[in-house]
Amino acid sequence: MPRSHRRRRDDSAADDSFDRLLQGFRRIETRRGVEWNVQPVGPANAVKEYICPGCGRVIIPGTAHLVAWRADGVLGDAADLAARRHWHESCWRIG
């Protein structure tokens, strides 16, 4: 019987992306008394357009930037991660 070369759909893909965001080069920063998870996104992984909450401008695909979400939220990690925002690195530093 011939082998199928089609990739099978992996139902754990959503879980994997959540775990990947929680790992990697993530660090904790404290700003104005609030703890934040901060994770850099390299140019190769920046594939979508985002609006930076610091300056209101577009972060174009292929631009290195940061993703930040609360580390001390009361609704749990999943809710905090869902509320994450993408920032220009310079906007995060001055914000």
Helix (H, G, I), strand (E, B) or coil at 9: coil
Q: Kindly report the backbone phi and psi dihedral angles of residue 89, in degrees, each rounded to the nearest multiple of 5, phi listed first.
A: -60, -40
- Domain spans in the chain, listed from the N-terminal domain onward: 36-94
Contact (Cβ atoms closer than 8 angstroms) between residue 92 and residue 80: no
Most confident of 23-27, 29-33, 49-53: 49-53
The one-character DSSP state at 20 is: H
pLDDT of residue 5: 61
Q: What is the pLDDT of residues 51-84, one digit of tens each?
A: 999 999 999 999 999 999 999 877 788 888 889 9
- Which residue's structure tokens are 């220009």? 88
pLDDT of residue 19: 56
Least confident among 10-14, 28-32, 33-37: 10-14
pTM tops 0.75: no
What is the average per-residue pLDDT within 1-15? 55
